[in-house]
Amino acid sequence: MTAPVTRAEKARRTRRRMLDAAAGLFVERGWTGATVEDIARRAEVGVQTVYFTFGNKRALLKEVLDTAIAGDTDPAATLDRPWARAVLAAPDPAEQLTLQAAGARRVLERAAPVLEVVRAAAASEPELAELWRTSMEQRHTVQLAFARALVDKTDGGLRDGHDAASAADLAFTVLGPETHGLLVTVRGWSPDRWERWAADALVRQLLP
């Protein structure tokens, strides 16, 4: 006999349905075009349910973005996730950079469309400009942690005098959604090709 669905599970499923509906509409229509009314309609809930659950449209977009980056609704920080711990623990510098590119690919395949929604709206929407700045700061913080681990693994230091700060800047650029969007979305590169290029670029630029 199937156990009855609990109230908590019903609420979790409803929240996930709203997040999925919002993600689809934000990507399809952009920040302005995706209304709370349309999100509620697609999720088959009342408008007030959306507001009660998320508070406002910006908070909803932030949760959509966080969920896309993480791949789930677990609040664990990026550096605490298995793929990031594997990057930090990789004993070989080249292996670490290869794992960084692979991890970035998986994140961007999920999150790049939502990141583009935030980036595009940031120019005219102050509340989304702050969300975009926070997203960039968080991404750079992750790359800086990776770069410090990389420096510790290279006895002779990084190539061309790079330190952890400049190595993080380089990885932030190579593995960022802007570069990924230009090559994959605009120029039609496959995700496999982008991942191989990104790993190779990091190794060539950073390792002796």
Locate CATH 1.10.357 in the chain: 77-208
Residue-level pLDDT at 2: 62
| Fold of the domain built from segment(s) 1-75 | Arc Repressor Mutant, subunit A (1.10.10)
Residue-level pLDDT at 4: 74
Q: How far apart are CA 136 and CA 115, in angstroms?
A: 10
Residue-level pLDDT at 112: 95
Q: How far apart are CA 93 and CA 154, in angstroms?
A: 7
Residue-level pLDDT at 3: 65
What residue type is assigned to position 80 of the chain? D
- Per the listing, tokens 């070989």 go with 92
The answer to whether the predicted template modeling score (pTM) of the entire model surpasses 0.85 is yes
Residues whose CB falls within 8 Å of the CB of residue 137, separated by 6 or more in sequence, listed in order: none
Give per-residue pLDDT as tens, 10-57: 989 999 999 999 999 999 999 999 999 999 999 999 999 999 999 999
Percentage of residues in the chain with pLDDT exceeding 70?
Answer: 99
| Fold of the domain built from segment(s) 77-208 | Tetracycline Repressor; domain 2 (1.10.357)
List, for the chain, all residue ranges whose pLDDT scores fall below the cut of 50: none
